[in-house]
Amino acid sequence: MSKPLGCQPDLGSMHIFRDTNFDFMGNKWPLIGLSLLLAAAGLVSLVIEGGPRYGIDFKGGTLLYVKFAEKPSEESIRAALGKKITGEISVIAVQGTNELMIQTETRNERELQSTRQLIEDTLSSVFGSTPDKLNFTGAASARVYERLNLPLQKAGVFINDEDLRKLVTETLSFRDKQKGGIIANFDELSKVPGMTPQILTVLKQESYLGKYLVRNTEVVGPKVGKELRTQAILATLYALAGMLIYVGLRFEFVYGFAAVIAVFHDTIITIGLFSLFHKEISLTVIAALLTLVGYSMNDTIVVFDRIRENLQRGRKGDMTEIVNRSINETLSRTIMTSGLTFLTAVALWLFGGQVLNGFAFALVVGILVGTYSSIFVASPILVFWQDFMKKRGDSNKGGAAPAVTTAKKLAAK
């Protein structure tokens, strides 16, 4: 499987980057320019949109994911809702499915339940219902059981209580797990273990198949939304402060500062891209942002570690050279790790489904930006600082720059 390799190593090994010597710091200006441009574009988009597009988690409102038996017409549903509900209503088709996302804003705590009820009532009047029968689509197990119990006895179908409960559970589990919540035809249920033609006949008598299913409901009051927003932002800021302090202690303050600036850069660009692509920031996206902060910080620390090691070894050259060498030495690792995590994120994006979509998008963007920022944002800050201290040191007739002295002190330990 593997070729033998001797003490002359690497004959059979695969390498992407080996002994590279790219001049990263020499080309920093155009890339810093690009960073600033991206960040500025994001900020401008944010300003134009009046802040990030918060999901209802953060601004309050009503959100329903509704699945339909057949592909629905967005316009007709929007029109029907518009007659009943004042204010902004958005009806968006979920790509590749028969689902619609219906969302309204709620400014008042008291409207919360009524808005949601209005939406459900409108859907029910558009798609019709059969009075005196149970809507099998979306029915809970207790309701189905209660509905079948007497009619089965009347029809002379003998099934004991325990078996009936079990059958109902199995039937609903088939409906939800195999058929995604909606069946087109009662006869599909004949596959359920324990289902007999007689029971199916009674079920057909007692219930009808609703043409839509509310799969997910979120109703958030504006006050709760605002609190969640404040708390999420505060928690993130505290976490950043924590990193600043830890990295500052382990390395030097300027390293912590540089790392936090890089992470900030990534977050701003990602939020900006969300704004550009009209994607909403929800609680899940916050989790993704925290993940990308983690990735980016990890990347930055790996590079910083190498810089510190090279300084400790007393390598020749000025800071620019040392930073360049450190980045080149870790480049192979950086590409490998980022590439692999990027693969995971892409898999999540492609196969993760509707719930994970916003999350995966943030990760895909975040990993790219995070890798880039540890090289082109965090590292240049160290070089700038060093140059600045050196100039000041020269003018004060000082000796070596502080980063080097500290590094030497560390090495002496």
Partner 1 sequence: MHRSLWIKIASIVGVTLVCLYGIVGLPTNQKELVDNFNTNIKLGLDLKGGSQLVLQVQVQDAFKAEADQLIDRIKTELKTASVDYGSFDRNEPSTIEDADKIEIVGKGIPATKAGDFRRLINERFPDWNITSTSSSDYRMTLKPTAALDLRKKTVASAIRTIESRIDGLGLAESSVQQRGAAETIPEILIQMPGVDDPARIKQILQTAALLELHEVQEGPFASRDQMLTQFNGILPPGTKAVRGVGQQESWFLLKRSPVITGRDLRDSRASQDPMNNSWATSFVLSQDAAGRFGRFTEANINKRLAIVLDGQVRSAPTIQSKISDNGQITGASSQQDANDLALVLRAGSLPASVVYLEERTVGPSLGADSIREGLMSGLVGLIAVVLVMLVYYKKAGINATVALILNAIILIAILAFFGATLTLPGIAGVVLTIGMAVDSNVLIFERIREELRAGKAIRAAIDNGFSRAFLTIIDTHVTAVVSSAFLFIFGTTNVKGFAVTLIIGLLANVFTAVFVSKVIFDWQLSGNNKVTTLSI
Q: Among 329, 361, 375, 407, indicate the residue that binds partner 1 (CB under 8 A).
A: 329
Question: Binding to partner 1 by residue 22, rule CB under 8 A?
Answer: no
Which of residues 59 and 390 has its CB atom nearest to partner 1 in the complex? 59
Q: Least separation, in Å, of the C-beta of 56 and partner 1?
A: 10
Quote the DSSP letter at residue 35: H
Q: Rounded to the nearest 10 degrees, what angle do helices 379-395 and 283-312 cross at?
A: 50
**Nearest partner of 263 among 241, 235, 285, 246, judged by Cα:** 241
Q: Among 71, 223, 392, 408, indicate the residue that binds partner 1 (CB under 8 A).
A: 223
Is the separation of the CB atoms in 66 and 93 below 8 Å? no
Residues 171-210 interacting with partner 1 (rule: CB under 8 A): 172, 175-177, 179-182
Render the burial of 3-35: b for 16+ CB within 10 Å, e for the rest: eeeeeeeeeeeeeeeeeeeeebbeebeeeeeeb
CA atoms within 13 A on the CB side of 19: 1
Question: Binding to partner 1 by residue 340, rule CB under 8 A?
Answer: yes
Which of residues 208 and 255 has its CB atom nearest to partner 1 in the complex? 255
Phi, psi of 120 (to 5 degrees): -65, -40
Amino acid sitting at position 13: S
Rounded Cα distance between 286 and 379, Å, is 26
Residues 283-312 interacting with partner 1 (rule: CB under 8 A): 283-284, 286-288, 290-291, 293-295, 297-298, 301-302, 305-306, 309
Which of residues 92 and 336 has its CB atom nearest to partner 1 in the complex? 336
Scanning 39-47, 81-89, 314-322, 346-354 for contacts with partner 1 by CB under 8 A, the matching segment is: 346-354
Q: Among 238, 313, 314, 318, indicate the residue that binds partner 1 (CB under 8 A).
A: 238
User: Which two three-digit tokens encode residue 298?
Assistant: 């990890």
Rounded Cα distance between 165 and 304, Å, is 62
Q: Least separation, in Å, of the C-beta of 243 and partner 1?
A: 5
User: Which two three-digit tokens encode residue 263?
Assistant: 């992470």
User: Which two three-digit tokens encode residue 370?
Assistant: 């995070």
Q: Least separation, in Å, of the C-beta of 395 and partner 1?
A: 34
Q: Least separation, in Å, of the C-beta of 251 and partner 1?
A: 8
Q: Least separation, in Å, of the C-beta of 130 and partner 1?
A: 17
Question: What does the per-residue mask of binding to partner 1 show for 91-120, with x meaning CB under 8 A?
Answer: ------------------xx-xx--x----
Residues 115-174 interacting with partner 1 (rule: CB under 8 A): 116, 138, 140-143, 146, 172
CA atoms within 13 A on the CB side of 305: 8
Question: Binding to partner 1 by residue 241, rule CB under 8 A?
Answer: yes
Is the separation of the CB atoms in 213 and 124 below 8 Å? no
Question: What does the per-residue mask of binding to partner 1 show for 248-267, with x meaning CB under 8 A?
Answer: --x-----------------
Q: Least separation, in Å, of the C-beta of 235 and partner 1?
A: 4
Q: Least separation, in Å, of the C-beta of 13 and partner 1?
A: 7
Q: Where do we find the tokens 């007999």?
A: 196
Rounded Cα distance between 57 and 40, Å, is 27
